[in-house]
Amino acid sequence: NRKPKIVILGAGYGGMMTASRLKKANAHQDADITLVNKHNYHYQTTWLHEPAAGTLHHDRTRMKIDSVIDTNKIQFIKDAVVKINKEEKKVVLEKSELDYDYLVIGLGSEPETFGIPGVKEHAFSIRSVNSVRLIREHIEYMFANYNKQEEKQEDLLTFVVAGAGFTGIEFVGELTERIPELCEEYDIDRKKVKIISVEAAPTALPGFDEELVEYAMNHLESKGVQFKINTPIKEVQDGVVLLADGTEIKSQTIVWTTGIRGSSIVDDAGFETMRGRVKVEKDLRAPGHDDVFIIGDCALIINEEINRPYPPTAQIAIQQAYTCAKNLKALVAGKTELEEFKPDIKGTVASLGGKEAIGLVGDKKIYGHSASAVKKLIDNRYLYMLGGMPLVLKKGKLNLF
Ligand code: FAD
C-alpha cells in the first residue's frame, strides 16, 4: 500500500511553514513529503531591505533548511523548479523530475515591471539573498568610485528607488541609515548624496492611513529623502530614469520596488492567473485541481468586505500554510471535508530605518520607537513559530529599543 506523495515547491514563508506544520502533525507517517527549494537555505523575504542597504548582514536573514526541518521526516531537495505538468502530476526540476499526489505551490513572486522598458535590464530588485547582496556591493562600489574620478560624477551618488509602497519605503529608510556611514568611510560630504523616491500614485504608501503616511514622509524627508510623488516612470536606460513629465534623473543605481506578480512558473503551468496569481478556492486549492494547493504570493484571495484582493504578505502566507497543512493532513487520512481559509489580519508595520517605524495594530496607529519594537517582535515571532526559542536567540532581533 503506497503512501501518497506530497511535494512542496518553494521554502519561503508559505512552503517552509507548511512543511513544519505537516511534521508537527506527524503527517510524514501517512505520506511521503518532499520540500523543493532553489537554495539549501530559507530566507526571510520581509527583512531583505536591510541587507540590501547593508544595515544587516544577509546571513542574519537566512538559515539552513536542514537546521529547522527534520530531513529524516521531510525529504529536502535543493533544486530549481523549471516546470509544473499538472495533467501528468509531475514537476520538472533542473536536475530531476518528481511525481506527486498532492502539490503545494509556494514559489513566491517576481518584480512587476508593468512592461516599462529597460527595467529588467537596468534596475535592481529586492527579491532574494542573491539580489540584495548585489545591491549592497553595488552601492558601496559607487562610493568607492566617486573619489577616484577626476571629474566628480554626481550620478554615482544618486540613488533612485522606484515605488514608494511598503518595500520602497522600508528600503529608503535603511538607506538613510547606511548612507551617513558610507559617507564617513569614503570621505564624502553627505550633502552630495541624493536618495530619490519616485512614486506613480498620488501618495506614498498608497492605501495606508494618511496620518501615518505623513509621519513617514516627514521623517524620511528630514533624513534627506526627496520624494517625487504622482510621477510615473516612462523608461529606464543605462544610467538614467526617464519620467513621464519629460524630466530625467541621472543615476547609476535604480532599485525597482513597484510591486510584485506571482511566479511565472504558475503562469506557464496553464493555471488561470491574474498577474501570475491564482484565485484559489476557499480551501486554498486551485480551481478544477483538487490535488494542487497554491499559497503565499502565488495565490490571490479576495477581501470580500471591499471586494478587492488582499495584498500579498508574509502574514497571509504563514496563515495559509497552517490551513494548507491541516487540509493535506485531512486528505491523506482519507477525509474529504476541508477547512476554509480565513485571513486574520493583525496589523501592518513598516520600518523607516533605525528605530523608526509606523503601523496599524488592529485599528490602533503606532509610531516611532514603539512601532519599531513591535516590528522586531513580529520578526521574532515568526522565528519562534518556525524554530522555537533557540532560533529566536540565534537569528532574532533582540535589541528591541
Ligand atoms: P517567499 O517567502 O518569497 O518564498 C519563495 C521561495 O521560493 C523562496 O525561498 C525562493 O528561493 C523559492 N523559489 C522561487 N522560485 C523557485 C524555483 N523556480 N525553484 C525552487 N525554489 C524557488 N509581508 C508582511 O507580511 N509584512 C512585512 O512587513 C513585509 N515586508 C516586506 C519587505 C520586503 C523588503 C519585501 C520584499 C516583502 C515584504 N513582505 C512583507 C511581503 C512578503 O515578504 C511576501 O508576501 C512573502 O515572502 C510571501 O511568501 P511566499 O512563501 O509566497 O514567498
Question: What mean pLDDT is reported for the chain?
Answer: 96
Assess whether the C-beta atom of 313 lies below 6 angstroms from ligand 1: yes
* pLDDT of residue 1 exceeding 80: no
Listed range (4-18, 145-159, 184-198, 281-295) with the worst mean pLDDT: 145-159
CA nearest to 68, candidates 392, 325, 386, 393: 386
Distances from the Cα of 164 to the Cαs of 156, 168, 171, 201, 293, in angstroms? 22, 5, 9, 9, 32
pLDDT at 73: 97
Q: How confident is the model at residue 148 (pLDDT cuts 50, 70, 90)?
A: confident
pLDDT at 253: 98
Q: How many whole angstroms from 214 Cα to the centroid of ligand 1?
A: 28
330-355 mean pLDDT: 95
Q: How confident is the model at residue 122 (pLDDT cuts 50, 70, 90)?
A: very high
pLDDT at 150: 82
Q: How many whole angstroms from 397 Cα to the centroid of ligand 1?
A: 19
pLDDT at 47: 97
Residue nearest to atom 27 of ligand 1 (CA): 46
Tell the residue number behind the cell numbers 508574509, with chain if given: 314
ipTM of the complex: 0.98
* pLDDT of residue 26 exceeding 90: yes
Express each pLDDT in 62-77 by its tens digit.
999 999 999 999 999 9
Assess whether the C-beta atom of 280 lies below 6 angstroms from ligand 1: no
Q: CB of 358 within 8 A of CB of 371? A: yes
Express each pLDDT in 364-392 by its tens digit.
999 999 999 999 999 999 999 999 999 99
For ligand 1, what atom is nearest to the CA of residue 321? 51
Q: If you ran DSSP here, which 8-state letter would residue 298 be given?
A: G
For ligand 1, what atom is nearest to the CA of residue 314? 25
Q: How confident is the model at residue 17 (pLDDT cuts 50, 70, 90)?
A: very high
Distances from the Cα of 89 to the Cαs of 83, 266, 290, 292, in angstroms? 11, 14, 12, 9
Q: How many whole angstroms from 342 Cα to the centroid of ligand 1?
A: 20
- CA Rg value for the chain: 22
Query: Is residue 170 flagged as an active site residue?
Result: yes
Pocket residue to mutate for ligand 1, from 36, 44, 46, most atoms within 8 A of Cβ: 46
Express each pLDDT in 319-330 by its tens digit.
999 999 999 999
pLDDT at 207: 87
Q: How confident is the model at residue 9 (pLDDT cuts 50, 70, 90)?
A: very high
Q: Does residue 274 sit in helix, strand or coil? A: strand
Q: What's the whole-model pTM score?
A: 0.96
Express each pLDDT in 256-303 by its tens digit.
999 999 999 999 999 999 999 999 999 999 999 999 999 999 999 999
Q: How confident is the model at residue 231 (pLDDT cuts 50, 70, 90)?
A: very high
Express each pLDDT in 85-121 by its tens digit.
999 999 999 999 999 999 999 999 999 999 999 999 9
Catalytic residue among 170, 174, 177, 199: 170
pLDDT at 313: 96
pLDDT at 151: 83
Q: Which amino acid is at 294?
A: I
Residue nearest to atom 35 of ligand 1 (CA): 46
Assess whether the C-beta atom of 37 lies below 6 angstroms from ligand 1: yes
Q: How many whole angstroms from 393 Cα to the centroid of ligand 1?
A: 23
Strands (E) located in 211-309: 225-228, 233-237, 240-243, 248-250, 253-256, 260-262, 273-274, 277-279, 285-286, 289-294, 299-300, 302-303, 308-309
* pLDDT of residue 154 exceeding 80: yes
